[in-house]
A = this chain, B = another copy of it.
Amino acid sequence: MTVSPLALPFPDLAPIAGVRIGTARTGYKAGRTADDVTLVELAPGTTVAGVLTRSRCPSPEVELCAARLMGGRARALVVNAGNSNAFTGAAGRAAAEAQGVRVAELLGCGVGEVFQASTGVIGVPLPEALALAGAAAAFAALGQGDFHAATLAIGTTDTFPKAATTAAMLGDTRVTLTGIVKGSGMIAPDMATMLGFLFTDAAVDPLFLQEALTAATAKTFNCITVDGDTSTSDTVLAFATGAAGNAPLANWQSPGADAFAAALADLCSQLARAVVRDGEGATRLIEIEVTGAASDASAHRIAMSIANSPLVKTAIAGGDANWGRVVMAVGKAGEPADRDRLGIRFGTTLVASEGAVVPGYDEAPVAAHLAGSEVSIGVEIGLGPGRARVWTCDLTHGYISINADYRS
């Protein structure tokens, strides 16, 4: 598979104390050469928070995570790649449960502390024997893997491994946050076949970890879209091992809580944009900023209407400053808008203002902006204080090529 032209070099990642990684290949999918089972052992006391797909047809792994998140504690994460185990009925559910039990046995923890995710083709039950053997093999390899290996082992149609790292000071204690993510299609609001796993050595109470993660996700993972499709398996989990030794963050009033939340949001933002950079067939990263909407929620819906418009995305693919299609996408969003107050910019060039093209509009700087690999579109609604920013990619022949022949 051709590497996305928007790929970033793999960053230097800080290890996280309390996290041990092992990967193995069990063979879920013929022809795959990368490892396909990832096991992460988490130190006792690790807290967990998560955000899961809102699909009405989730995978059993998603259901298991939802139930176990209630407990707030994690000792293990196991991820299967090549089979999503979604829509597989009782057989798939049984295989997922069995794999969780096996991991708990291997690590000597409760099954309620095992978090699970699977990604790949829908509709084929996870082969239980492979799932159990894979878990055992990854367990045997614990400590030999690192975040880079895990990033490769959780990927499917990804063309490059995506990860990020950041840090924050909680009083005198430096804490580190490292995240890995996979996903390149079926990406939409409320996530999509996207798996994101965030690790920190900070000590964080699970309820506050959930608050911080939910806030970060709302402005990052839920602000990206590749094709408007939402996966049955989307999962973002954050694990906090507490190994850094800070006083546990309990709420927004805890010293360092804001710094931690900001670092977590920064990590999510880096990872979310990396996912868009690996959007199937993407040749341009597109940032869409909507201002002046009736509310932030309204701005978000307008921005997503633009970001999901095939006509806008193909225009950008063609390097065409077709702002008329942006108008169209604003109009179809169903949100308050007044055609005669609308303003549109491409890059820093104002193209349209108060409902019509600006006098003497010069397309040259816009064409130059669109020739680059990062495109910025701004829309001023002119009605209120609402604003939002979302990211998407262009829609190209590459998307069609990848998706018209994925399962076969």
Whether A56 lies near B334 (C-beta < 8 A) is yes
Q: A89-B356, A232-B327, A397-B397 are in contact. List 12 more A-B contacts (CB 8 A).
A: A87-B327, A88-B356, A89-B354, A122-B328, A227-B311, A228-B228, A228-B309, A315-B406, A317-B400, A318-B403, A318-B406, A320-B405
Check if A33 is an interface residue, CB within 8 A of chain B: no
Number of copies of this chain that the complex holds: 2
From B54, B338, B407, give the contact of A315 (CB < 8 A). B407
Check if A134 is an interface residue, CB within 8 A of chain B: no
Whether B122 lies near A325 (C-beta < 8 A) is yes
Candidate in A57, A309, A354 with the most chain B CB atoms within 10 angstroms: A57
- By Cβ-Cβ distance, the 4 closest A-B pairs, closest first, are A122-B324, A89-B356, A318-B404, A55-B331
Check if A333 is an interface residue, CB within 8 A of chain B: yes
Name A63's closest neighbour in chain B (CB-CB): B339
Please, which residues of chain B bring their CB within 8 A of the CB of A323?
123
Q: Given that A330-B56, A339-B56 are known contacts, is A308 also in contact with B228, CB under 8 Å in the complex?
A: yes
Name A329's closest neighbour in chain B (CB-CB): B229
**A340 and B330 alpha carbons, distance in the complex (Å):** 37
Check if A198 is an interface residue, CB within 8 A of chain B: no
Whether A86 lies near B404 (C-beta < 8 A) is no
Check if A395 is an interface residue, CB within 8 A of chain B: yes
Candidate in A355, A399, A400 with the most chain B CB atoms within 10 angstroms: A400
How many A residues face the partner with a CB closer than 8 A?
73
Please, which residues of chain B bring their CB within 8 A of the CB of A337?
56-57
Whether B320 lies near A87 (C-beta < 8 A) is no
Whether A403 lies near B336 (C-beta < 8 A) is no
Check if A81 is an interface residue, CB within 8 A of chain B: no
Whether A331 lies near B397 (C-beta < 8 A) is no
Q: Given that A89-B356, A231-B328 are known contacts, is A310 also in contact with B399, CB under 8 Å in the complex?
A: yes
Check if A254 is an interface residue, CB within 8 A of chain B: no
Whether A328 lies near B407 (C-beta < 8 A) is no
Residues 54-66 of chain A: 1 if any B CB is under 8 Å from the residue's CB, otherwise 0? 1111100000000
Check if A74 is an interface residue, CB within 8 A of chain B: no
Please, which residues of chain B bring their CB within 8 A of the CB of A352?
87, 123
Whether A331 lies near B407 (C-beta < 8 A) is no
From B84, B342, B400, give the contact of A314 (CB < 8 A). B400
Candidate in A58, A315, A332, A338 with the most chain B CB atoms within 10 angstroms: A332
Candidate in A185, A314, A342 with the most chain B CB atoms within 10 angstroms: A314
Check if A396 is an interface residue, CB within 8 A of chain B: yes
